[in-house]
Amino acid sequence: MSNFISQILSWPIIVQGALGSALFWLCLLIGNKIVRASIRHSITFGSERKMRILKMERLRYTGALAPGIEPTTLSTVALLYSAAGYAFKAMASIVLGLLLGDLLPLFRPIGYMFALYYLFWAIASVRDLHSDDEAQLKSRLEELEKKIKILENGA
């Protein structure tokens, strides 16, 4: 392992930077996929959490389909506000992990893992719609409305 690291350190700085950036991108991509898969396939989330996720996604699609700039801006600000809440939770997790890590070193990685969890939720709250087709966006919005009604009637 140290031979591998020393070989990488002998490469030019620009190649090392590109390799680090690619590794960071890969970690971000994999983490994003894991969060999306957990949203879609998890049955362990409570109905309140599912409702919050569905309403956040409905807000995203409603803002994208809004006729003017004002509703789109309002929905974007609301989504950014939601993402900021997750980012603050991530920062609090890091601070608690660092503070409690002095008492028991196990708390540091636990704090970092919670921070990653919250940061991926922040990314999920402002992610792209992956489509510009208005008909596709409307059908997804109708699907979300049905899921929300089912959760509201079931709860």
Q: Are residues 14 and 64 in the same domain?
A: no
pLDDT tens, per residue, the chain with 155 residues: 778 888 888 889 998 899 989 999 998 889 888 887 777 666 555 777 778 888 888 888 888 888 888 888 888 888 899 899 999 999 999 999 999 988 888 999 999 999 999 998 888 888 776 667 778 888 888 888 888 888 888 75
Residue 14 CA to residue 149 CA, distance in Å, equals 53
Domain that holds residue 23: 1-44
Q: Which two tokens stand for residue 62?
A: 């409603």
Residue 16 CA to residue 10 CA, distance in Å, equals 9
Q: Are residues 60 and 20 in the same domain?
A: no
For residue 23, count CB atoms less than 10 angstroms from its CB and return exposed for 0-12, middle for 13-18, buried for 19 or more. exposed
Q: Are residues 131 and 61 in the same domain?
A: yes
Q: Measured in Å, how far apart are the chain's first and last C-alpha atoms? A: 53
Phi, psi of 4 (to 5 degrees): -65, -45
- pTM of the predicted model, to two decimals? 0.63
Q: Are residues 94 and 31 in the same domain?
A: no
Number of structural domains found in the chain: 2
Q: Are residues 28 and 80 in the same domain?
A: no
Q: Are residues 97 and 140 in the same domain?
A: yes
Q: Are residues 63 and 19 in the same domain?
A: no
Q: Are residues 60 and 119 in the same domain?
A: yes
